[in-house]
C-alpha cells in the first residue's frame, strides 16, 4: 500500500510542478495556491480536501499547513496530514517534521519530530534532483552540508552565491529573489557583488519580485517608461500593492491607476474596500468612480497570478490555534 501511494504521489508531484518547482497553471492546485495567496483559507481548504483524502502528497502538505495555522483549524490534526504526506514521499513534509530543523514548529504544536525525518528529506531531495528538479537540487545542496561548511560558505567563499545563481539559471529563482531581503537597507550590488547583480538583471522578466526591485532601484540607463512598464508587468502577475502612493509620487502611475489597482487588490482578498477613503486619498472625481471600479474588476480578472512562494516559505510558521 505504501509503495503504491509513493508511486501515485510521485506522479502527482511531477504534474504539480515543473523542474523549477513552480505551480503549473493548468493543474488543479493552481487556483488553490491563488486562494492561499489572497488568504482565502476557507476556499483553499474546501478545494484541497478531496485531493488530500486521495493521498496526493503535495495537497497533503498544504492541507496540513491550513490545519496548522491559526485560522480556526486543528493544529494537532495537522500532524496527521503531514505524516500522510511523508508516506507519499514529500520532502517538504519530512523537513517540516524534523527535530532540530523546524523545531519551533514542533515545540509550539506539541509534535513528535524525529531527526530521521531530516535525513529522509535530504535523500528525497537528492532523488528528485537526479530527476532534474532544480528546486530539490538547491535544497539538497544547502541542507546536506555540515554546520562548518555552511559557516565557511557564508564567510569565506562565494559558494552560496554560486548555488543561488546556478538555481536561477536552471529556472528556480526564488532564492535569488529572497536575496533581495538579505540586502535590505544596503546597496544590493555592494552586498552581494557583480555576479549576483547580473543574475538579478537576467531574471528581471522571470520573477515579479525581482522586477519590482528594479522599479524601486532602477538599473543604469533605465528610463521612466521602462520603469512604468516593469511596474505594470509586476502588477499584472499579481505582485505589488502597498506602494501605490510611492508610485504616484514618482510619476510611475497616475492617481486614477492607483485607485484601480488598490480596488483590484481588495477584490482578490475579498476584504471590504473603503471607497470613500480611497476616493479622497487618490483625489478621484465622483463621476469617474463607476468607470474606475469597472476597470478594477477587469484588471483583477486579467491578472496572471504568478505564484511567488513555495513550501519553504511557510516552513517556520508555528503560531498555535487560539
Note the pLDDT tens digit of each residue in 50-71: 999 999 999 999 998 888 775 5
Q: What is the pTM (predicted TM-score) of this model?
A: 0.85
Can you tell me the mean pLDDT for 20-46?
A: 86
- Condensed to tens digits (0 to 9), the pLDDT of residues 193-240 reads 999 999 999 999 999 999 999 999 999 999 999 999 999 999 999 887
Q: Is residue 104 very low, low, confident or very high in pLDDT (cuts 50, 70, 90)? A: confident
The 3-state DSSP class for residue 23 equals strand
* pLDDT above 80 for 19: no
> What pLDDT is attached to residue 3?
35
Which has more confidence, 242 or 257? 257
The values of phi and psi at residue 206, to 5°, are: -110, -15
* pLDDT above 70 for 247: yes
In whole angstroms, what is the distance from residue 63 CA to residue 77 CA?
10
Q: Is residue 175 very low, low, confident or very high in pLDDT (cuts 50, 70, 90)? A: very high
Take residue 78 and report the three cell numbers written for it: 495537522
- Condensed to tens digits (0 to 9), the pLDDT of residues 266-281 reads 998 888 999 999 999 9
Give pairs for 99-106: CB < 8 Å, separation 24+.
101/143, 102/315, 102/316, 102/318, 104/316, 104/318, 105/68, 105/315, 105/316, 105/317, 105/318
**Average pLDDT in the chain:** 86
**17 has which bridge partners?**
23
In whole angstroms, what is the distance from residue 256 CA to residue 286 CA?
12
Residue 31 DSSP symbol: H
In whole angstroms, what is the distance from residue 164 CA to residue 180 CA?
12
> What pLDDT is attached to residue 15?
42
What structural domains and CATH numbers belong to the chain? 2-144 (1.25.40)
Which has more confidence, 299 or 69? 299
Can you tell me the mean pLDDT for 82-87?
A: 95
Amino acid at each position: 500500500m505504501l509503495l503504491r501511494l509513493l508511486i501515485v504521489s510521485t506522479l502527482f508531484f511531477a504534474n504539480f510542478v515543473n523542474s523549477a518547482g513552480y505551480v503549473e497553471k493548468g493543474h488543479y492546485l493552481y487556483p488553490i495556491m491563488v486562494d492561499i495567496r489572497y488568504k482565502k483559507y476557507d476556499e483553499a481548504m474546501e478545494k484541497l480536501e478531496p485531493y488530500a483524502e486521495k493521498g496526493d502528497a503535495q495537497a497533503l502538505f498544504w492541507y496540513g499547513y491550513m490545519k496548522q495555522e491559526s485560522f480556526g483549524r486543528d493544529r494537532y490534526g495537522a500532524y496527521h496530514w503531514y505524516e500522510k504526506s511523508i508516506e507519499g514521499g514529500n520532502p517538504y513534509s519530512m523537513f517540516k517534521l524534523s527535530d532540530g530543523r523546524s523545531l519551533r514548529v514542533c515545540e509550539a504544536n506539541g509534535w513528535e519530530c524525529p531527526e530521521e525525518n531530516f535525513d529522509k528529506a535530504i535523500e528525497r531531495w537528492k532523488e528528485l534532483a537526479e530527476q532534474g528538479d532544480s528546486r530539490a537540487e538547491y535544497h539538497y545542496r544547502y541542507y546536506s552540508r555540515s554546520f562548518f561548511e555552511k559557516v565557511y560558505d557564508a564567510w569565506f567563499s562565494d559558494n552560496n552565491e554560486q548555488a543561488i545563481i546556478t538555481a536561477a539559471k536552471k529556472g528556480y529563482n526564488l532564492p535569488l529573489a529572497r536575496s533581495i531581503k538579505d540586502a535590505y537597507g544596503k546597496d544590493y550590488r555592494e552586498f552581494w557583488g557583480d555576479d549576483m547583480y547580473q543574475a538579478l538583471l537576467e531574471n528581471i522578466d522571470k520573477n515579479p519580485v525581482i522586477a519590482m526591485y528594479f522599479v524601486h532601484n532602477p538599473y543604469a540607463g533605465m528610463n521612466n517608461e521602462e520603469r512604468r512598464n516593469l511596474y505594470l508587468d509586476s502588477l499584472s502577475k499579481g505582485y505589488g500593492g502597498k506602494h501605490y502612493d510611492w508610485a504616484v509620487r514618482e510619476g510611475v502611475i497616475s492617481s486614477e491607476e492607483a485607485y484601480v489597482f488598490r480596488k483590484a487588490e481588495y477584490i482578490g482578498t475579498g476584504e471590504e474596500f473603503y471607497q470613500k477613503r480611497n476616493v479622497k486619498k487618490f483625489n478621484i472625481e465622483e463621476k469617474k468612480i463607476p468607470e474606475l471600479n469597472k476597470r478594477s474588476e477587469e484588471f483583477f480578472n486579467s491578472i496572471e497570478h504568478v505564484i511567488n512562494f513555495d513550501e519553504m516559505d511557510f516552513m517556520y510558521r508555528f503560531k498555535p490555534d487560539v
